[in-house]
Amino acid sequence: MIHVDGLTKNYGNVKAVAGISFDVHAGEILGFLGPNGAGKTTTMKILTSYLSPTAGRAEVAGYDVLDHSLEARARIGYLPEGTPLYKDMTVLEYLNFASDVRGLPTGAGRTRRLRQVVEQCGLGDRLGFLIGELSKGLKQRVGLAQAILHEPEVLILDEPTSGLDPNQIVEIRQVIKDIGKSKTVIFSTHIMQEVQATCSRMLIISKGQIAADGTPDELSRKAQGAQELRVELVGRVEDAREGLTAVKGVASVRSVDPAPGEEAGKDNHHFVVIAQEGQDPRADIFRMATEKGLTLLEMRREKASLEDVFRTLTSGTPGRKSK
Amino acid sequence: MKNMFVIARRELGAYFNSPIAYVVVAVFLLLSALLFFSALFLQGQADLRELFDGFWTTLLVAIVGPAITMRLLAEERSNDTLELLLTMPLTDWDVVLGKYLAALGVFAFAMVMMAIFGVTVAMIGPLDKGPAFAGFLGLFLVAATYMAIGLMTSSFTKNQIVAFIGAVLLCLILWLIGKVVQIFPPTVQPFLDWLGMDRHVSGMARGVIDTRDLLYFGTLITSCLLVTQATLDSRRWR
């Protein structure tokens, strides 16, 4: 649905986007992550034909964004960062204006479509309000409404949840998820939970280049490298440590304090076991415990959080906001 | 084409939903009425020529025109709405021409109100319809030119005041240049005389619609709109 090939954009001497390539397929919700100034917004502006690339090309729904800009734009719904809307129009006036520009025929069909969108975005009782008088969350919904009303094949949202309160964030995410059932969605954010909660795929970019590409699960596994296990044993501490170290596939063992909320018993010992790369020593640990007469209370794999992934992949990036 | 009218309609809505259009039109009408009636009562002239040819009217339009157009693109820039507008499926020309059309609409509204002056003259004595029509057309073309300049400067900046002042300066140059041609070297005088507004306006105020004058206004308007479009387009490559 979206095809990006060697896309490059320079602002003077600064390379905002440095030759990135990726494809987004129909029905994917792609989370676009990266520190400020990584090139997220610039990439989106190129996809929507607001900026032209310095080199490389991009296609949306089969149309080149440079050569067939109007056709591509007709198939995109876009919500720029900060939700810029005409403050002097009422919600209904604005949605009608957007429908006019998008060439939605007037009449019963449009009324039905507008009613649908207004309900989906929860704007029912605000139609007569001036946009300038709405709260940030409501403005965001108007922005979303104008982006989806022509049923675009591709939806591009630049930080759609920034500056909203937690309830509003959940609501907007739900709307994005609903839309993502049938459309292709790209949205940028720097909130990790958001990606976990909504995306089927994430793309991390840093310094204008793609740092990682995959499902949220894949990426956290990749960043993790070796498996990390948390083990709780009851018995003599020396026995436990020696036993664990002797298990095949274990790289290191270290004692740790109980995690908050875990019981600290006299004979309970907590360990963090790092496995050798590509090894899964869990079965052997269980067997070792039985043989040595130790009681295995708990054993669990620690998952690298997406925050860790993000930090590993993008650390040291200079913060420069692309405008 | 259709989208141009969609834009024009939105802009007209923006003008008439807010006080700007009313204030500008009211100021314009008040001052031009002052000019007209002072000519009528003090000099006993019951014709419109003084109004159209006059020193003051064209000066007034050089301020009113930019005041109407200053917000057109500068406001979109400062509110970032330009980005959303230009990523919709419409061409830069739809935006430029639609906005220009709306500005012309506001001024046309003022001129309809000015028709009262014509009616006044007609009540006092016979109205010379030909020159009155040419005069109205001439004034409208002057305003159209000044507003094309205003739209152009509005595309340069996100600050409406800067757009306004820039446009007024350019308009004043056009307004003044025909009056001071003599101070320039003889070689450039014919060009400057052509460039100045005066020559072209006075012809029309006398009731003569000359294609050369129409060409003059057309050239200036087209040039400004071309620059405006080029400015919008330049965002892509900067």
Distance from CA of B151 to the nearest CA of A (A): 19
Token pair of B160, please? 């409406």
CB contact under 8 A, B14 and A88: yes
* pLDDT tier at A208, thresholds 50, 70, 90: confident
The answer to whether the CB atoms of A84 and B80 lie below 8 A apart is yes
**Backbone phi, then psi, for A105, in 5-degree steps?**
-65, 140
The verdict on a CB contact (< 8 Å) between B90 and A45 is no
Report the pLDDT averaged over residues A122-126.
87
pLDDT of B121 strictly over 50: yes
Given a cut of 70, whether residue A317 has pLDDT beyond it is no
Percentage of chain B exceeding pLDDT 90: 52
Distance (Å, whole) CA A7 – CA A58: 7
Q: How many CB pairs under 8 A join A and B?
A: 66
Residue A131: pLDDT band (50, 70, 90) is very high
Residue extents of the structural domains in chain B: 2-231
- pLDDT band, very low/low/confident/very high, at B101 (cuts 50, 70, 90): very high
Query: Considering CB atoms only, which of A48, A85, A97 is closest to B87?
Result: A48
Pairwise CB contact (< 8 Å): B84 & A85: yes
More reliable by pLDDT, B186 or A276: B186
- Architecture category of domain A2-222 in CATH: 3-Layer(aba) Sandwich (3.40)
pLDDT at site A238: 85
Minimal Cα distance from A54: which residue of B?
Answer: B237
More confidently predicted of B147 and A32: B147
Record: contact A51-B235, CB cut-off 8 A: yes
Tell me if A89 and B236 make a contact (CB, 8 A cut-off): no
Q: How far is CA B112 from the centre of its chain?
A: 15
Q: What angle do CA A248, A251, A254 make, to 5 degrees?
A: 115
Cα A258 to Cα A264: distance, rounded to the nearest angstrom? 6
pLDDT of residue A223: 60
Distance CA B223, CA B231 (A): 12
Contact B89 A85 (CB under 8 A): no
Q: In what order do the strands lie in the sheet with A209-214?
A: A76-79, A154-158, A184-189, A29-33, A201-206, A209-214
**Nearest chain B residue (CA) to A82:** B80
Domain ranges of chain A: 2-222, 225-302
| A99, A150 contact by CB (below 8 A) | yes
Per-position b or e across A226-239, b if 16+ CB within 10 A of its CB: ebebbbbbbbeeee
Closest-CA residue in chain A for B235?
A51
Interface of B with A (CB under 8 A): 2-3, 6-7, 9-10, 13-14, 17-18, 79-81, 83-84, 86-91, 235-238
All residues of chain B having their beta carbon less than 8 Å from the beta carbon of residue A97 are: 6, 10
Query: For residue B145, which amino acid is it?
Result: T
Report pLDDT for A250.
Answer: 85
Residue with tokens 């959080």: A305
Of B2, B10, B86, the CB nearest to A50: B86
Per the CB < 8 A criterion, the answer to whether B192 and B175 are in contact is no
User: Cα-Cα-Cα-Cα dihedral of A252, A258, A261, A264, to 10°?
Assistant: 140
Helix H segments across chain A?
Answer: 40-47, 69-74, 91-101, 108-120, 136-148, 166-180, 192-198, 216-224, 237-246, 282-291, 306-314
Residue A155 has phi, psi (to 5 degrees) of -120, 125
A146-A16-A203 Cα angle (round to 5): 65
Q: Tell me what percent of the residues of chain B surpass a pLDDT of 70.
A: 95
- The pLDDT value given to residue A308: 67
Q: Is the pLDDT of residue B118 over 80?
A: no
- Tens of pLDDT, residue by residue over A6-22, are 999 998 888 899 989 99
To which residue do tokens 């129909």 refer? A26
Q: Which of A9, A41, A51, A106 to mutate to test the interface with B (most CBs of B within 10 A)?
A: A51
Confidence of residue A318 (pLDDT cuts 50, 70, 90): very low
Q: Tell me if the domain spanning A225-302 has CATH number 3.90.1330.10.
A: no
Q: How far apart are the CA of B11 and the nearest CA of chain A, in angstroms?
A: 11
8 Å CB contact of B6 and A97: yes
Bridge-partner residues for A234, per DSSP? Answer: A268, A295
Closest-CA distance, B94 to chain A, in angstroms, reads 10
In this complex, do A101 and B86 lie within 8 Å of one another by their Cβ atoms? no
Q: In this predicted structure, what is the pLDDT of residue B171?
A: 95
CA distance A281 to A251: 10
In this structure, the number of other CB atoms found within 10 A of the CB of residue A320 comes to: 15
Report the percent of chain A where pLDDT is more than 90.
34
Q: What is the pLDDT of residue B164?
A: 96
Instruction: Please tell me the distance from the alpha carbon of residue A102 to that of residue A89, in angstroms, as a whole number.
Output: 18
| pLDDT mean across residues, chain A | 85
Of B10, B81, B236, the CB nearest to A51: B236
